[in-house]
Every structure is written in C-alpha cells, then in structure tokens.
Amino acid sequence: MDKRGKATLDKAVVDVWQREVGQVSTRTFAHRLAASEDLVLQLDIHRKLERHTGCVNTVGFNADGDIVVSGSDDRRVILWDWETGHVKLSFHSGHSNNVFQAKIMPYTNDRSIVTCAADGQVRHAQIPERGRVETSLLAKHQGRAHKLAIEPGSPHIFYTCGEDGLVQHFDLRTGAATELFTCYSIESRRSFRPIVHLNAIAIDPRNPNLFAVAGSDEYTRLYDIRKYKWDGSTDFGLPADYFCPPKLIGDVDVGITGLAFSDQSELLVSYNDEDIYLFSRDMGLGPNPVPASPVSMESDSGEMGPDHLSTAAQSKMETDEVGPQVYKGHRNCETVKGVNFFGPKCEYVVSGSDCGRIFIWKKKGGELIRVMLADKQVVNCVESHPHTAVLASSGIETDIKVWTPKAIEKATLPTNIEQLKPKPRGWMRRRVSSPQDLMLQLFSLQRRRTSPERNGENSARDRDLLQLMLAFNANSDSSSDNDGDISSSVEDFFG
C-alpha cells in the first residue's frame, strides 16, 4: 500500500472511532465521507438515461435529489427516476428551438418547471395531477437565452439572461416579467459587440440579493437587486462589483460560458479558450474597473493594461497578494459549457471539456485529481446531487450519464491529458455562427457607423464589417450538427 492510501485508511479509521465515541456528529461524519477523495476516484457510470433524440443541453436534480430533469434539442423536457432509469414524465416544452435550460422550482412538489431556449422564449410548465402538461410563455429574449437562475428557496422567483444582453426578473405568482437592464461593454473597444451577449447567470446562495452575469467579454458583473427600484426610477444597470483575472483585462479574445457560487459565496468563472478561476468576494475590482474617458474608449486592445485601470481597481490589484485560484487541463472552445462545485461543502470543482471528458479538481489548491470519459464529442453539463456523491452529465450525445462511487478500483489520471485536448477555434469565430449573431452584430455596427461623432472612423468600421462577414461565412461553411447548442438555421430566424 502506498503512503497516500495508508494515510487515507488511517484517517477513515480515526473518523469512525470519533463517531462511535461521540466526538464527531453523525452529520459531520456523513459530510466527511461524502467529501472523501476516495469516492471521487471511484466514480463510475451508474446508469445511462436514454429517451431524448437530440443533444441534451441541460440536466439537474430536484431539491430532494431523487429526480433528474433534462432538456434537449428535441425540445422535450423529461423527468427521470435516475436510480431506476424510469421516465416519470416526458412532455413538449412549447419551445420552437433547442431547450437550453430546465429547472424544477423548489417547494412545488416537482410540479412547476421553468425553461429557456434557443428561441429566446422563457416558459413555465405546470404539471397537473391528471391530464396534459400545460406550458405558458412568460417572456422572450431577442436572441438565444442560455441560462436561468432560481432564487434559493423560492418557489416563485427566478432570473434569466440572453444573448441580447437583457436580464429579466420573474415572479410566478403574477406571471410578470420585469426587464431589469441590458448589459453593455465597459467601453467600446470591441468593434462588433457593445452589447455583452450573456451566457451565464448565478445567484449567491448565502445572500440571494446578489447575482452575477457574464458573457462575451472578460468581466463577471455582480449586481445587488436591492438597488433596483421597481418603478424604474433608478439606473440599475451599474454593477456593484466586477471580477476578472488581471492577465485577462483587455483581452478581446475571451468570454465567459459558465458561473457558479459556492456555499461560502466564492465565485467560479469558466472562460472560453482559457482556464477556470475561483474568486473570493474581496477579489473584486470595484464598481468602476476602467475609466470612462475618451482615451480608454478608443485604446487599441493590444495596449490595454494596468495603466488603463481606474485608481481603485489598480490599487486593488497591487495590494492583493493572492489572486484567484486557477483550474487547468480542460478545453472550453466549442460550446457554452457550465461549471460547478461538487461535494457537501463544495470541496471540488467540476467541468466538461471539448475532448468529451469530465474534469474534477480539488477546490483548494487546484489539483486535478480525476478525468472521466463521458461523451464521444463534447461534455457541456455536469451537475451535482444536492446531498450525496452523485453526478449527472450530458453533452452532444443524446443520453444523460449518472455517476456514483461504485468502482472497485480507484482511478488514476491519464498520462496524455494534453494530447486529448482538441485544437481551439476561437471565441469570435463561434459568436457569429448563426443568423441571429450576424444580425445583432450588423445592427450594432450600423448604429455606430451612423453616429455623428464617429464619422472619421467609417473606413475602419467598413474593414470591421468585411471581417465580420468573412467570419460568418467561414463559420457557416464549417458548421455541423456537432455544434449542439450553438447551431440554428436561417428558417429559425426568418421563418
């Protein structure tokens, strides 16, 4: 037995002894067991849930953990008994395009489900005791709506974000949708996207007044809903804080695909073509990370750096001795991937990858401890069970895989991880992969070209327009059915 295995065994014996003599509570003992690295190393496929006929873009557990809900490119929502693999309910979502997220509202006896999709619609499904499931349209985004977030413990309140940059607040008691704000870039150094196309939204479980959004630029923005005046009398679009690794400030080639809060209010951020970062609350750049001056507004992106930060943000970076924890090894280029915590106290970080594998790191220290093959192409979703060491994953394949610590032997890391990583394609290339993207960018560019104060820049804007058209044409030529949640047709947009 190696030293690591002997140490693990010794600790387990001590834990059992402490529980038996009353030095450790049953709950603490259960948490220690569920957080055991041995369980992570013994995760294996418990069951494949097979019924969808398209890519599965969303999976999640209900509050009790006995049901998995999924949504797919086939536009259906399915509720599963994941232990037996039995389909409890399958119904059409009412969406006209790929379902991107489906969540069960808490404290509703699993009879209230909210969804968002590639058609931009936000819908509510109510499951009756008998009869047909009815779905209703609550609101619509002008573009795809990737994610929604439920206020912790609330059976009524949730938020959505979309590629139109809009964040909306919903209250199912009234069916009302409130448009809170549209998210814009800090300054207009990006030629094509003054609106931040939002991919992710998350609510702090320790303080549900705080929520974060992120998308097609390098910043995660934190908002406090208490600052919003429901009569619309205040400018709520100003974040309370920004988060970004110092080395990525000013990088126009990155964006964010996934966000998650830990039970200690730590913020986990997954970048495309980059790594995953963990921020504590004191790592924010403040509400004004760059000056709103003409110099910074027109600076070349290659010259952006600490000199362009506001005094407060620069001072913050200089005084911080410890930066965000980094998690490396996976590849996030092809699709909009989520990121998550795993363990009873968020002891681990989990993410899918373009190589079709699930990556698991220790939250503290960032050590990669597990890589699991979970899809023949891309893994997009990895969700944790609310109470025990179980994971659910999905990707380009049409099934959902449920993982439990059932393996007899502990897994070891593959030696060729770097060789497994596919070649990156780039963020901007993906962002103009559909007619929706092209039209949003063209409308934005046209507004800027016709602005009186920008008449001298038209030649540069014309070059930008040509580059945009070439990027869209190239992406259209190379698109395939494997793009999962980033594909759509001309008929979907113009039909």
Question: Is the model's pLDDT at 278 over the cut of 70?
Answer: yes
Q: Are 478 and 486 in contact (CB under 8 A)?
A: no
Question: Is the model's pLDDT at 449 over the cut of 60?
Answer: no
Domains of the chain: 40-424 (2.130.10.10), 428-494 (no CATH)
Q: Report the DSSP beta bridge partners of residue 33.
A: none
Give, in order, the Cα–Cα distances in Å from 88 to each of 95, 133, 315, 435. 21, 13, 55, 37
Instruction: Note the pLDDT of residue 484.
Output: 43
pLDDT per position as a tens digit, 394-446:
999 999 999 999 999 998 988 877 655 655 555 444 444 455 555 555 544 44
Q: For a pLDDT cut of 90, what percent of the chain falls above it?
A: 62
Q: 419 or 226: which carries more pLDDT confidence?
A: 226
Which one, of 476, 468, 479, 467, lies nearest residue 442 by Cα? 468
Instruction: Note the pLDDT of residue 22.
Output: 60
pLDDT per position as a tens digit, 41-80:
999 999 999 999 999 999 999 999 999 999 999 999 999 9
Q: Do the bridges between strand 166-171 and strand 99-104 make them parallel or antiparallel, or are there none, so unpaired?
A: unpaired
Instruction: Note the pLDDT of residue 194.
Output: 80
Task: Tokens for 409, please give them.
Answer: 């032997």
Q: For a pLDDT cut of 70, what percent of the chain falls above it?
A: 68
Please tell me the distance from the alpha carbon of residue 149 to that of residue 289, in angstroms, as a whole number. 26
Task: Tokens for 177, please give them.
Answer: 């949708």
Average pLDDT over residues 109-121: 97
Q: Is the pTM of this model over 0.85?
A: no
In 3-state terms, what secondary structure has residue 353?
coil
Please tell me the distance from the alpha carbon of residue 242 to that of residue 281, in angstroms, as a whole number. 10
CB neighbour list of residue 466: distance below 8 Å, 6 or more residues apart: none
DSSP secondary structure of 329-350: S----SS---EEEESTT--EEE
The C-alpha torsion from 364 through 367 and 370 to 372, rounded to 10°, is: 100
Instruction: Note the pLDDT of residue 453.
Output: 39
CB neighbour list of residue 16: distance below 8 Å, 6 or more residues apart: 29
Instruction: Note the pLDDT of residue 131.
Output: 77
Please tell me the distance from the alpha carbon of residue 241 to that of residue 253, in angstroms, as a whole number. 22
Q: Report the greatest alpha carbon distance in the chain.
A: 80
pLDDT per position as a tens digit, 76-105:
999 999 999 999 999 999 999 999 999 999
pLDDT per position as a tens digit, 355-370:
999 999 999 999 999 9
Instruction: Note the pLDDT of residue 186.
Output: 84
In 3-state terms, what secondary structure has residue 100?
strand
Task: Tokens for 162, please give them.
Answer: 């979309």
CA 59 to the chain's CA centroid: 12
Average pLDDT over residues 231-257: 86
Instruction: Note the pLDDT of residue 416.
Output: 73
Share of the chain residues as helix, strand and coil, in percent rounded to the nearest 5: 25, 30, 45
Question: Is the model's pLDDT at 462 over the cut of 70?
Answer: no
